[in-house]
Structure 1
Amino acid sequence: MEELERALSCPGQPSKCVTIPRSLDGRLQVSHRKGLPHVIYCRVWRWPDLQSHHELKPLECCEFPFGSKQKEVCINPYHYRRVETPVLPPVLVPRHSEFNPHLSLLAKFRNTSLHSEPLMPHNATYPDSFQHPPCTPFPPSPSHMFSQSPNSISYPNSPGSSSGPGSPYQLTVETPPPPYHARETPGNHNGRSMDAIAESQLVLSLPNGVKSADGETENFRPVCYEEPQHWCSVAYYELNNRVGETFQASSRSILIDGFTDPSNNKNRFCLGLLSNVNRNSTIENTRRHIGKGVHLYYVGGEVYAECVSDSSIFVQSRNCNYQHGFHPATVCKIPSGCSLKIFNNQLFAQLLAQSVNHGFEVVYELTKMCTIRMSFVKGWGAEYHRQDVTSTPCWIEIHLHGPLQWLDKVLTQMGSPHNPISSVS
């Protein structure tokens, strides 16, 4: 306790770890509620608005960070830092197109997206398919990323499962606790910061001869990313019918559940409130099993989906599939008590920066990455008798506003597609 008092009274000074024994499930009970101990202490002493462990990262000086799976856990609030949203470099749109389809780095990405959609999406079950060697945060070319198309992959509900590629966090959540790698430094890649990698690869994606900032402004229009008022919108569907109004998310942490709170809480989208005269018994039964549903976090430019329902959720995210080397249409099963990073803004920025030099159509394809579909309780794909998400009883469609607005600005600057089209084509 003396070390904790010293750390709190002198926050700018180096301090030692303040440890408590790790409980069996890694959590601490306070006033009949359980939570992760480092989150509780950080919320009490530093950040009252702290929502989730996804917002915290241990400092290098900490010897007993929560994610290290040691017998002791450090609860020193000054041994953790809050994850900051990275500044994304502007996309430089060429004033004069130099598109050459034979030199396109994204040709394989585009061809896979347009022409190789399977009759039924592949399925991934958390954890087995997520334990292959991680890819680099920003692959130099997407061409190799869709070469594999696993028919079945899995994903264990284990506190010891490894972190997703390029992720500073584990894929498990507060129940069971998230064991992210303690010694991992996600802001660094081979000794270089993420920003340095992004900037260097942005320059590499530009045509030859563009080297200086002055040269860039002469031949390119910079298009910057801006955070919108609502970071996403969520629409709820039953089979192929949309039900209710679209939910606009202003809070960075939202809960989509099956309950009936009528208070219009900006942090909750209660599906249990919504009525549908065409609802059948399968839909009714599925709705009863949504329960606590899914918790969506938008932290540090990344979107996480945490399954807090007793039943699994199923997610189709092209951005997530790209990170893990899956086919774009793969549907990932997230069991109860697990979470998965389903969108990475920095990866999207890298793909967008590369694609502007390869034509309007390639950029437009990225709009599919900004929409995420998620079903409750019932899955779809090759391993299920439902082939399409519109055949599942209860599902949602998430539109990410920031990336969509960024794409809109870039496409507006680019003008129109190169390929002509007629009224009879």
Structure 2
Amino acid sequence: MTDYHDRKSFNLHVLRSKIVNWKQGHEDNEHSQRAVDFLIKKLKNSEGVLDSLAKVLLNPYLPSPCITIPPSVDKRIQIVYRKEFPHVVYCRLWRFADLQNYHELIPSSQCRYPFSSGNNRNQKHVCINPYHYDRVPSQVLPSIIEPRINNENTPPTPPLSMCSPDPYSPQFSNHHTLSSWCTINYYEYSSKVGDQFRASSSQIFVDGYTSPYRNFSNRFSLGLLENIKRQKGVEFVRESIGRGIELIEHCNGDVSIRNRSWSCSVFVQSILYNRLIGSNDFTIHHLPRRQSIHSIFNSSLFAQLVNDPLATYESILDLTKLCSIQVSFKYGWGYEYGQREITSTPCWLSILINEPLRLLDARLQQLQPQQATTSS
């Protein structure tokens, strides 16, 4: 009996090594191993299922059975620091290395137990066979995932330094007098790392390299920032940032963002942009490599909200959150991406647009006396 268990343990160890080595792309080794360990634990007592999985990965385009696990209450699985839908985890691991979320997958006709995002409490099995799912063509993905992006070949609006000032734009007429038009803080999970970066140039680059600030005043190089408590998952993301992102403040006060990386996706949340395009405030936008969003901050819409004649002190104060933009590298957050908060992602930025905050202060000073008079 002991010999049988020893042989079984040895076979599982060999199988685990093979399955891990079949991974696609550059997924973090720790995450890959944990994902495989989780699956082996779920499948090891099911006769022949692990062997079936190995055959699927060895002969991917032959007909294959469903490889199923029981769904959890919220239908997700926790692997290291990420909580995701299981079929997404294993499709990314073994087939689609750049897969971001379940919206990008559709079950094949041969799958008997496909993943369902609905409230189907009768679903007892979920198939994680990566070859029972196909990639959804990018042109039919939901708009909540892909923002309105500008193609790399589209010439961008020139930055402020290349524009003539507009004296007839009262809402942003004084923004060039501020010492910095935005401030950027860098975080690793919930910990702020390094000093705040103040953008004095209208064109800013945030990259993963190691160029000192004093040499390039328009460049925030994250590779310089040290963190003695840095986790392994953070290092993996930092290595992929590369050319990073570009931020441009345009002459009308709008702000655009471009993903300059050759390999790293960027995820962006801007409440003001979401209101501009009619999305939910908390929508997270996937910005693929070499793509851009022009009005991630739209000065015209912001001015309308600030100058609303029916606005109250409280409603103007609430506009503060519209002056902030969150950007994460490599991994998204929110319901579609398996991370509840941006603080669950390894590397991210908080970008604060300063001129709108100045306008809010001025508007609040106008409303403060009225509020005091009303309360008396």
TM range (shorter): 0.5 to 0.7
**Residue 349 in structure 1 maps to residue 341 in structure 2:** no
**Residue 298 in structure 1 maps to residue 249 in structure 2:** yes
* Contiguous gaps of at least 5 residues in structure 2: 1-100, 105-136, 157-165
CA RMSD of aligned residues (A): 3.4
Q: Which residue of 2 aligns with 1:374?
A: 327
- Check 1:340–1:352 CA distance in 2 against 1; reply closer, same or farther (3 A cut): same
- Whole-Å separation in 2 of the counterparts to 1:288 and 1:129: 31
Of residues 156, 159, 172, the one that matches 2:151 is 172
1:244 CA drift (Å): 0.4
Q: What amino acid is the match of 1:171?
A: N
1:224 CA drift (Å): 6.9
**Residue 236 in structure 1 maps to residue 215 in structure 2:** no
Q: What amino acid is the match of 2:146?
A: S
8 Å contact kept, 1:294–1:308: yes
Q: What amino acid is the match of 2:322?
A: M
8 Å contact kept, 1:370–1:403: yes
Q: Deviations over 1:232-261 (max 9, x none)?
A: 010000001100000000111010000001
Q: Deviations over 1:198-228 (max 9, x none)?
A: 99xxxxxxxxxxxxxxxxxxxxxx9975432
Q: What amino acid is the match of 2:312?
A: G
- Check 1:386–1:346 CA distance in 2 against 1; reply closer, same or farther (3 A cut): same
Matches within 5 A, 1:321-360: 321-341=274-294, 342-354=296-308, 356-360=309-313
Q: Which residue of 2 aligns with 1:257?
A: 207
- Whole-Å separation in 2 of the counterparts to 1:314 and 1:244: 21
Q: What amino acid is the match of 1:333?
A: H
**Residue 385 in structure 1 maps to residue 338 in structure 2:** yes
Q: Which residue of 2 aligns with 1:153?
A: 145
8 Å contact kept, 2:175–2:181: no
- Check 1:384–1:358 CA distance in 2 against 1; reply closer, same or farther (3 A cut): same
8 Å contact kept, 1:233–1:248: yes
Q: Which residue of 1 aligns with 2:220?
A: 269
8 Å contact kept, 2:264–2:289: yes
SS of equivalent residue, structure 1 residue 323: helix
SS of equivalent residue, structure 2 residue 241: coil
Q: Which residue of 2 aligns with 1:96?
A: none
1:384 CA drift (Å): 1.4
1:418 CA drift (Å): 5.6
1:229 CA drift (Å): 2.3
**Residue 312 in structure 1 maps to residue 265 in structure 2:** yes
- Whole-Å separation in 2 of the counterparts to 1:362 and 1:225: 23
SS of equivalent residue, structure 2 residue 359: helix
Q: Deviations over 1:143-164 (max 9, x none)?
A: xxxxxxx794335xxxxxxxx5
- Check 1:368–1:124 CA distance in 2 against 1; reply closer, same or farther (3 A cut): farther
8 Å contact kept, 2:213–2:221: no
Q: Deviations over 1:86-115 (max 9, x none)?
A: xxxxxxxxxxxxxxxxxxxxxxxxxxxxxx
- Check 1:223–1:287 CA distance in 2 against 1; reply closer, same or farther (3 A cut): closer
TM-score, normalised to structure 1, is: 0.48
- Check 1:226–1:296 CA distance in 2 against 1; reply closer, same or farther (3 A cut): closer
Asked which structure has the greater RCO (Cα within 8 Å, sep 6+), the reply is 1
- Whole-Å separation in 2 of the counterparts to 1:417 and 1:370: 25
Aligned residues: 226
Q: What amino acid is the match of 2:255?
A: V
Structure having the higher Rg:
2
The percentage of counterpart residues that share the same residue type is: 36
Q: What amino acid is the match of 1:326?
A: S
Runs of 4+ in 1 over 3 A off after TM superposition: 122-130, 150-153, 222-227, 416-419
Q: Which residue of 1 aligns with 2:54?
A: none
8 Å contact kept, 2:144–2:285: no
Q: Which residue of 1 aligns with 2:108?
A: none
Q: Which residue of 1 aligns with 2:85?
A: none
- Whole-Å separation in 2 of the counterparts to 1:226 and 1:313: 28
SS of equivalent residue, structure 2 residue 290: coil
* Contiguous gaps of at least 5 residues in structure 1: 1-121, 131-149, 156-163, 165-169, 181-193, 200-221, 420-425
Higher helix share: 2
